[in-house]
Amino acid sequence: MRTLPAVFAFAAWLAPGVCAAQGEPPTLRPYDTLPDWSGAWLMVGGTVFDRATQTGEGGATSVGVRSHPPYNAEWEAIYRSHLERRDKNLFPDTISNCGVPAGFPRHFNLPDPYEFVVRPEQVWVLTENGPNVLRIYTDGRKHLEDQWATYTGDSVGHWEGDTLVFTTVALKGFRDKDVILDRTGLVLSDQSRATTRIRKIDPTTIEVQMTIEDPKALTRPWVVTKQFRKMPAGTRVYDYGCAENNRNPADVETGKTLVIGPDGKPLNKE
Amino acid sequence: MRTHAPLVGAFAIITASLGLAVSVAAHHSGAGFNSDKVIELTGTIKEFQFTNPHTWIQMFVEGDKGARVEWSIEWGSPNSLGRQGIRPSTFPPGAKVTVRLRPMVNGAPAGGFVGAKFPDGKTVGRWE
């Protein structure tokens, strides 16, 4: 409901700097003025991270399929080595053994429902798959100068109208070989960071546009856009206990994705 | 038993390029399954593992000479299937059923679920 007090509060929010100039906490955007992103949402298309540059037919595990990020020669070679292993089912998906988050930017490249929880001080992007949580602080805080790297990094942002704009830093990338962007073997370095814009472009579509920079791996900023379609009203989102009955672990020795038989032994080890 | 040969008497193998979507998407993909081939098995449900990250239908198939082989048939996540109306009771233990699946490329008794048909004509998944 758009109440009159909320309108006045929104007007106050549009005049930034007054409180900050007096050393007080920044004014949060009133809840009633925030966009409605409620419900469950499903990513449009498959899990090839950059479908706009995809070549090859099929999904991320199909032989020959790849994206074309603006890699420098060194990281293009790394990606090609991953693609060769993927073609032989020897490139392990880092989340196949159910221990680590998908990380950023893969957070926006997952199957199963998403929820975008909008609050004045913070936005949460929840994924059933994983599950994973991306926290985006909109309370005026800054990135820590000495923030250590994590899978999902540190995200702070602000609202530009009904568009959420945020930066994500302190990412592990492929430093420890446990964050990838998709199952083609797409990766970024621990120098990667992103500026992301999220907005609802029509009543049933949320668009996420990421501008990714990586001075170690990329020759220029890489813009990737993902869309999410609203699921039917009343859709439920559930547990995702990855380790409950994981019969497709990655072989730690070869990287091969295994199929575990009823006796607990792999059916395709050899 | 990891070959189809002993089972020929018990079920008909149909090889098809039906263009059916791979049933197992998302978390781990259908690694090891033959995306160009669909076979049909008739057997008895042992167990429907309605579990994360993927569901598995365990089914006994009688081979020639009385041999019984347990097949493992992988399907989607319980969450995704549950939203489509599938329940743990969809494949009750002891039920007779005919299942279509994409078999493993190495001939092991496992595959990716395509569809199933019960003796009363009820179908589950894709059964055109």
pLDDT number for residue B63? 82
User: What residues form DSSP beta bridges with A164?
Assistant: A159, A198
Which of residues 201 through 240 in chain A touch B, CB cutoff 8 A? 235-240
Quick one: average pLDDT of A199-218?
Answer: 98
Closest CA to B15 of B75, B97, B99, B102: B102
B88/A contact by beta carbon, under 8 A: no
A68: pLDDT strictly greater than 60: yes
Give a yes or no: residue A247 inside a domain: no
Contact of A15 with A202, CB cutoff 8 Å: no
User: Do A18 and A79 fall into the same domain?
Assistant: no
pLDDT tens across A5-44, in order? 554 454 444 444 334 445 556 689 999 999 999 999 999 9
User: What tokens were used for A60?
Assistant: 């991320």
- Using CA coordinates, name the residue in chain B closest to A102: B27
Q: Which of B27, B60, B75, B86 to mutate to test the interface with A (most CBs of A within 10 A)?
A: B27
| Amino acid identity, position B41 | L
CB contact under 8 A, B29 and A236: no
Instruction: For residues A67 and A20, state if they share a domain.
Output: no
pLDDT in the model for residue A24: 59
Shared domain check, A53 and A162: yes
Out of A79-93, A161-175, B18-32, least confident range: B18-32
**A14 and A53 together in one domain:** no
pTM of the model: 0.86
Domains of chain A: total: 2
ipTM: 0.83
| Same domain? A10 vs A126 | no
Residues A49 and A15 in one domain: no
- The CA-based angle A115-B49-A101, given to 5 degrees, is 35
Mean pLDDT of A124-151: 97
**Could you tell me the two tokens for B74?**
């992988």
Q: In terms of domains, do A215 and A148 share one?
A: yes
- Asked whether residue A116 falls in the same domain as residue A173, the answer is yes
Q: Do A225 and A208 share a structural domain?
A: yes
pLDDT at position A34:
98
* A12 and A116 together in one domain: no
Closest in A59, A93, A112 to B28, CB measured: A93
Any CB–CB contact under 8 A between B70 and chain A? yes
Is B80 touching A (CB cutoff 8 A)? Answer: yes
Q: Does A251 touch chain B (CB under 8 A)?
A: no
Q: Which residue range(s) make up the domain with A95?
A: 41-230
Q: What is the mean pLDDT of chain A?
A: 92
What pLDDT does residue B24 have? 45
Q: What is the pLDDT of residue B15?
A: 36
CATH topology of domain B5-125: OB fold (Dihydrolipoamide Acetyltransferase, E2P) (2.40.50)
Contact of B108 with chain A, judged by CB distance below 8 Å, is answered with yes
Domains in chain B: boundaries: 5-125
Q: Does A93 touch chain B (CB under 8 A)?
A: yes
Do A113 and A145 belong together in one domain? yes
Same-domain check for residues A69 and A196: yes
Across the interface, of B30, B49, B108, the residue whose CB is closest to A245 is: B49
* Pick among A106, A112, A260 to test the B interface (most B CBs inside 10 A): A112
- pLDDT band at residue A127 using 50, 70 and 90 as cut-offs: very high
- Encoded tokens for A191: 């120098």
